[in-house]
Structure 1
Amino acid sequence: MKEVDYKQLLEQKGLKKTKVRMTLIRHFVHLDHAQSYSDLQAALVKELDKSTLYRNLTSFEQAGIIHRINDHSGVAKYAFGESPIEGDDHAHFVCECCETVYCMETPAPGEFNVPEGFKTNKVQTIIRGICADC
């Protein structure tokens, strides 16, 4: 389990330390996989209403506390940790059975030969397979 000083993290990112934000960070830190908005809403229904959850997800993403994952399912997933930046891209594993998305600790290959005149801004690697739970 990750050891995170929630209050310090919010302070470093320039966000107010509210009960809602502390609850949301605590939830993300204790997850081992990404979650959709619907997953988060269901898990935190007692603590957060829909608009509060959406506003805080947006704030967390902009501050780099979480990152959004496009696994090509049509539903965005969110995971704890900064969005990969150039030179720090990482892969995501998508289970084809349960559709759970995991951030992979091993960085994805960053060198690609793109056609002349093309500029790469971000590389997102999706690895598909079956997770250990399935």
Structure 2
Amino acid sequence: MLEQTKVNIIDQSNEALLDQMGLKKTKLRLELVKHFKDAKHAQSYSDLKQIMGEGVDKSTLYRNLSAFEEVGLIHGINDHSGITKYALGASPSAGQEHAHFVCESCETVYCVKGMTEIQMKVPSGFKAKNIQTIIRGTCANC
């Protein structure tokens, strides 16, 4: 299902995509959408700040990432490094099941397509909100 969502996102113009998501078309948002479409792996705030340049302040970038995440344009990934990474597409908890591969050498995070839905039994009285699958190892670049 993620593949279909990504295809729809990638096939649309950046302007049309922001319109569809109900987001205002600002210069920064258009640049962010372009960057996420071109990115081969998940991006941290620091990665994005460096790419977007010094002209973008911290709160503006965080607000835009938050807005993108709210509408399902991107999803945040907690890889247990303490640094959230962001990737194109809705989150696994929003029904877009997929795993994330974390390279233990370079710390790059990749979305992994083709994962089947995980069914887990939690103890009686517990309610699972979402399941995050992290695969650790070494990426092809390392």
The answer to whether structure 1 residue 97 and structure 2 residue 105 are counterparts is yes
Q: CA RMSD in A?
A: 1.7
The answer for unaligned runs of 5 or more in structure 2 is: 1-6
In structure 1, how many angstroms separate the alpha carbons of the residues matched to 2:22 and 2:96?
23
Q: Corresponding residue for 2:31?
A: 23
State the identity as a percent.
56
1:32 corresponding residue in structure 2: 40
Report matched runs for 1:88-127 at 5 Å: 88-127=96-135
The residue type paired with residue 120 of structure 2 is F
Aligned length: 134
Match 1:76 to one of 74, 81, 84: 84
Q: Deviations over 1:111-132 (max 9, x none)?
A: 1121122111111000000000
What is the Cα deviation at residue 52 of structure 1? 1.7
Structure 1 pair 61–95 and aligned structure 2 pair: CA distance change class (3 A): same
- The answer to whether the aligner puts 1:44 opposite 2:52 as a matched pair is yes
Structure ranking higher in helix proportion? 2
Q: Which runs of 4+ in 1 moved over 6 A?
A: none
The reply on whether 1:129 has 2:137 as its aligned counterpart is yes
Structure 1 unaligned spans of 5+: none
Q: TM-score, normalised by structure 2?
A: 0.86
- 1:33 is paired with a residue whose SS is coil
For residue 109 of structure 1, report the CA deviation from its aligned partner.
Answer: 4.2
Which residue of structure 1 lines up, in the alignment, with residue 3 of structure 2?
none
In structure 1, the residue corresponding to 2:93 is in which secondary structure? coil
Q: Once the two structures are superposed, what CA deviation does each residue of 1:78-107 show, in whole Å capped at 9, x if it has no partner?
A: 111111235432100000000000000122
**1:14 partnered with 2:26:** no
TM-score normalised by the chain length of structure 1: 0.91
Q: Secondary structure at the match of 1:69?
A: strand
Letter paired with 2:132: Q
Partners of 2:99 and 2:44 in 1: how far apart? 18
